[in-house]
Amino acid sequence: MYQYAAVDQNLVEARVKQFREQLERYQEGLLPEDSFKTLRLQNGVYIQTHAPMLRVAIPYGTLSSTQLRKLAQIARTYDKGYGHFTTRQNIQFNWPTLESVPDILEELSVVQMHAIQTSGNCVRNTTTDPFAGATVDEAIDPRVICELIRQWSTFHHEYAYLPRKFKIAVVATELDRAAIEVHDIGIRLKRHSIHGLAFDLWVGGGLGRTPVIGKLLFADLPFTELRNWLNAVLRIYNLYGRRDNKYKARIKILVNSVGLNTFRELVSNRYHKDRKDALVVKSEDVTTLASMFQVNLQPEPEEYQPEIPEFYRWYKNATKPHRVNGYRLVVISLKRPDVAPGDLSAELMDVVASLADRFSQSEIRTTHDQNLVLPHVHTKDLFSLWEALSNQGLAYPNVGLISDVIACPGLDFCSLANAPTLSLADAIHQEFASLEEQINIGPLEIKISGCMNACGHHHIGHIGILGVDKKGTPWYQLTVGGRDQKGAVLGERIGPAVEHDEVIPLIRRIIDRFMEERAPNEWFVDYVTRIGVEPLKAAAYAIDYA
Amino acid sequence: MPLITLNGTVVNLEIPKVTEPESEGIQDALATDVVALSFEHANDGRSFSWAGLLRSEGFSGTLIGVGPIGLDRLAYSFQVGFDAVQLSDHEYAELKEIHLRPFEWSYQQDPHLTDHEIPSP
């Protein structure tokens, strides 16, 4: 993992002092509400329905066991004993007091953590493949690049007050586990015959009110020029992005309004005029970072696994191939009945931290679909790990299945939401309580957002659910056929919005039709692509066209 | 309203008419000795990029920031290339060292990891 140098530590500690002073000025009435709002957001503090919410950064989704224990302690001391893992691989605490935030930030700084730029109109936490450094066929560990971006974008004097928030995602494999095509900037790293390491630069993707799939701005750029290209894109966005309407302020709107070719020309001109040698990535820096992320594992033969059906089912669902023979990646589903998606109690955080110490080089990952990963588990330890997880209710093998639902906190917590989301996630668990049935249905991603801001990424769910307001009552709009991987697709509306209690019957009818008509082993999303929305609409709304 | 420099001292400079590089073009600005760029509100950061752009195009004259910049954006303003920044009288009365230099160091001034002091693991 990346270890802070003295300068990194100095910076996070200075940030705590800075925020403490800003809060004091606000409390003394010396800082207007509006100005303070911007400052608190850049420190991850929202004012929510019940209390302030603090979003803590987990850079590129990598946590040490020490850091996870600190999060558990914060949950116990300052919150109600739990935390919520988000779709940007961060964690949120929903119940701290505003006065306690500087103390929480100080506690975080002790374990090299912070809440810097987890909100506000700035460059946010760069997300990446939760399997980074452990999966096969990577051009490089993408966290090396994420760390370079983290440093470059932290307290960037020019880009701390952008027209709107700015999200970057990085992958280094063909398979896209970070949804780069729905980010303001998406970076795909690849090996290149001339540059050694190169990247494709995608721009202008995003969800929210106006969902847009990103566009390929440039392909095969030399990796060493990464920061110079980022600088050119951000400068053009900051100069020309709209500030008169927050719903039209994201870079996707700028790209669409000037057109991709003009945007490309603007960026290219700036790149050539503003390029600085100082921003060129040095190979020594890459080597230093890569060595920090490197975990030394020796290839070993896979060890025999006991033939216990429950264990085998979990093994098949929740463990994934590792780059080193003899090891597996293990996904811990945080989608259990009666628990909000992504929530984890302080006690269970401590349990996971201990398991990471015992079985996974003290390392944990957070995923953009709100689960956790133990990235380096030896196959000989899998059974013990499964037993330990099972004892804590953490071995539910529904990873990637219909009950592995992504949901924003919704109306229960968020002041922006139109509709509850957590009750729907729970209803899905109840309706599809049989694991056998879930496995038969196969891979199916349901994503739920409580409002148009799309924090639950509903547009790219195989089934997307959006909470809408109808004369003060929450209703839900369903989409089908969305995808977030390479060649991302936005889901299509299946028909009119329905009331809360109608959502599950509607999904049930869709699934029943799918199970009747699917080709052998066909995924739900491929089935939707094959047959189109109309026949499903008929099934969903029980329309008889005959 | 006082104009503050990097050291927190007040300077007496005549503020020229605010430049709007987007409509006026940047060539005129580059040929001027003193350029004033405006921030429309406390969240507006466009002029940070106009300042950055003018500096990277070789502007070596005096750059002045006007509008509601506030104490909490002073450090960014000087870092991006402003020579002097306007504060309200009330803000000037509150001005402290932490506003001028909240951080001793920045990743942007020194973007190279290998130049940092990395402790051995």
Q: Is residue A545 part of a domain?
A: no
Strand segments, DSSP code E, in A318-427 are: 319-321, 327-332, 343-345, 363-366, 372-378, 406-407
Q: Which residue has the tokens 């820096």?
A: A285
Chain A and chain B share a number of CB contacts under 8 A equal to 132
DSSP letter, residue A154 = T
pLDDT value for A543: 66
Same domain, A316 and A437: no
Residue A48 above 80 pLDDT?
Answer: no
pLDDT value for B115: 64
Q: Nearest CA to CA, how far is B106 from chain A (Å)?
A: 8
The tens digit of pLDDT for each residue in A419-436 reads 999 999 999 999 999 999
Q: Which of A262, A290, A318 is the last residue of a domain?
A: A290
Closest CA in chain B for residue A232? B53
Q: What is the helix (H) or strand (E) element at residue A15, kind and residue range?
A: helix A6-27
Same domain, A286 and A316: no
Same domain, A221 and A275: yes
Q: What share of chain A is helix, strand, coil (3-state, %, to 5)?
A: 40, 20, 40
The tens digit of pLDDT for each residue in B3-57 reads 999 999 999 999 999 998 888 888 889 999 999 999 999 999 999 999 999 999 9
Closest CA in chain B for residue A41? B43
Identify all chain A residues contacting B104, using CB atoms and an 8 Å cutoff. 10, 14
Same domain, A244 and A316: no
Instruction: Identify the domain containing residue A99 by its residue range.
Output: 6-110
SS3 state of residue B51: helix
Could you give phi then psi for residue A211, rounded to 5 degrees?
-70, 135
Alpha carbon distance A142, A128 (integer Å) = 7
pLDDT value for B121: 42
Q: Is residue A22 part of a domain?
A: yes
Q: Is residue A344 part of a domain?
A: yes
Same domain, A232 and A371: no
Closest CA in chain B for residue A25? B94
pLDDT value for A237: 98
Same domain, A140 and A229: yes
Query: In chain B, positions 17-76, which contact chain A (CB-CB < 8 Å)?
Result: 22, 40, 42-46, 48-53, 56-57, 70, 72-73, 75-76
Q: Is residue A302 part of a domain?
A: no
Q: Which of A261, A290, A319 is the last residue of a domain?
A: A290
Q: Is residue A249 part of a domain?
A: yes
Same domain, A282 and A190: yes
Give the best residue of B49, B94, B101 to mutate against chain A (max A CB count within 10 A): B49
Contact yes or no for A6 and B106 at CB 8 A: no
Q: Is the minimum CB–CB distance between B108 and chain A shorter than 8 Å?
A: yes
Look up the pTM and report it: 0.95
Q: Is residue A299 part of a domain?
A: no
Same domain, A276 and A135: yes
Same domain, A446 and A486: yes
| End-to-end Cα separation, chain B, in angstroms | 51
Alpha carbon distance B105, B83 (integer Å) = 19
Q: Which residue has the tokens 């957590």?
A: A422
The tens digit of pLDDT for each residue in A381-405 reads 999 999 999 999 999 999 999 999 9
Q: Of A31, A155, A149, A49, nearest to A94 (Cα)? A: A49
Q: Which of A345, A364, A391 is the last residue of a domain?
A: A391
Alpha carbon distance A441, A151 (integer Å) = 43
Q: Is the minimum CB–CB distance between B98 and chain A shorter than 8 Å?
A: yes
pLDDT value for B117: 58
Q: Is residue A398 part of a domain?
A: no
Give the best residue of B78, B107, B120 to mutate against chain A (max A CB count within 10 A): B107
- Confirm if A517 and A531 have CB atoms less than 8 A apart: yes
Contact yes or no for A35 and B119 at CB 8 A: no
Query: Is the sign of the CA dihedral B68, B70, B75, B76 positive or negative?
Result: negative
Identify all chain A residues contacting B22, using CB atoms and an 8 Å cutoff. 239-240
Alpha carbon distance A278, A480 (integer Å) = 47
Same domain, A167 and A197: yes
Q: What CATH number is given to the structural domain containing A484?
A: 3.30.413.10
Of B43, B57, B112, Cβ closest to residue A121: B43
Report the domain count for chain A. 4
Identify all chain B residues contacting A288, using CB atoms and an 8 Å cutoff. 113-114, 118
Banded model confidence at residue A303, pLDDT cuts 50, 70, 90 = confident
Q: What CATH number is given to the structural domain containing A104?
A: 3.90.480.20
Q: What is the DSSP string of A71-119?
A: HHHHHHHHSSSEEEE-TTS-EEES---GGGHHHHHHHHHHTT---TTSS
Say what the ipTM of the complex is.
Answer: 0.95
Same domain, A255 and A350: no
pLDDT value for A546: 47
- Confirm if A409 and A422 have CB atoms less than 8 A apart: yes
pLDDT value for B118: 52
Average pLDDT, chain A: 94
Q: Of A410, A94, A376, A480, nearest to A385 (Cα)? A: A376
Q: Is residue A247 part of a domain?
A: yes
Contact yes or no for A5 and B118 at CB 8 A: yes
Q: What CATH number is given to the structural domain containing A376?
A: 3.30.70.3340
Same domain, A173 and A97: no
Contact yes or no for A157 and B79 at CB 8 A: yes
